Structure 1
Amino acid sequence: MIKKTILGVLALGIFATSCSNDDDATVIVPETSPLTLNLNGLEALGNDFVYEGWIIVDGNPVSTGTFSSVNFPQTFQVNTLQLNAATTFVLSVEPAIDPDPAPAATKILAGDFSGASAVVNSNLVADFSQVEGAFILATPTDMDDTNESSGVWFLDNSSGAATTGLILPELSEGWKYEGWAVIDGTPISTGTFTDASMADDNAATSPFKGDSGNGPGYPGEDYLQNAPAGLTFPTDLKGQTIVVSVEPSPDNDPAPFTLKPLAHMIPSDAMEHSTITMGDGPVTILEGSVTR
Structure 2
Amino acid sequence: MMIKKKLFLVLITCFVIISCDNEDEAKTTNLVLNLSGLEELGSDFVYEGWIIVDGEPVSTGVFSSVIFPQSFQVEARQLASATKFVLSIEPRLDTDLAPAATKILVGDFIGNTASVNSNGIVANFSSVSGKYILATPTDEDNTNEASGVWFLDNSTGSVVAGLSLPTLSDGWKYEGWVVFNGTPISTGTFVSSTGFDDNAVTSPFKGIAGNGPNFPGEDYLRNAPTGLMFPTDLKGKTIVISVEPNPDNSPAPFTLKPLAHVVPANAEVHKTINMGAGPVTSLSGSVTR
Normalising by the residue count of structure 1, what TM-score does the alignment of the two structures yield? 0.90
Compute the displacement of 1:31 (Å). 0.3
Match of 1:118 in 2: 114
Q: Helix, strand or coil: the match of 1:38?
A: strand
Percent same amino acid among aligned pairs?
69
1: CA distance between counterparts of 2:168 and 2:161?
17
Point out the structure with max Rg over C-alpha.
1
1:1-292 mapped onto 2 (5 Å cutoff) = 28=23, 30-123=26-119, 124-292=121-289
Compute the displacement of 1:142 (Å). 1.4
- Is this contact kept in 1: 2:136–2:143, CA < 8 A? no
Q: Helix, strand or coil: the match of 1:129?
A: coil
2: CA distance between counterparts of 1:278 and 1:152?
12
Compute the displacement of 1:278 (Å). 0.3
Q: After the TM superposition, which segments of 4 or more aligned residues of structure 1 sit over 3 Å from their partners? A: none
Compute the displacement of 1:291 (Å). 0.4
Q: CA offsets per residue over residues 31-67 of structure 1, 9 Å max, x none?
A: 0010000000000000000000000000000000000
Q: Helix, strand or coil: the match of 2:221?
A: coil
Give aligned pairs, total. Answer: 269
Amino acid at match of 1:275: T
2: CA distance between counterparts of 1:213 and 1:73?
51
- The gaps in structure 2 that reach 5 residues or longer are 1-14
- Is this contact kept in 1: 2:48–2:59, CA < 8 A? yes
2: CA distance between counterparts of 1:269 and 1:175?
35
Amino acid at match of 2:144: N
2: CA distance between counterparts of 1:64 and 1:208?
43
- Is this contact kept in 1: 2:32–2:288, CA < 8 A? yes
Give the aligned CA root-mean-square deviation in angstroms.
1.3
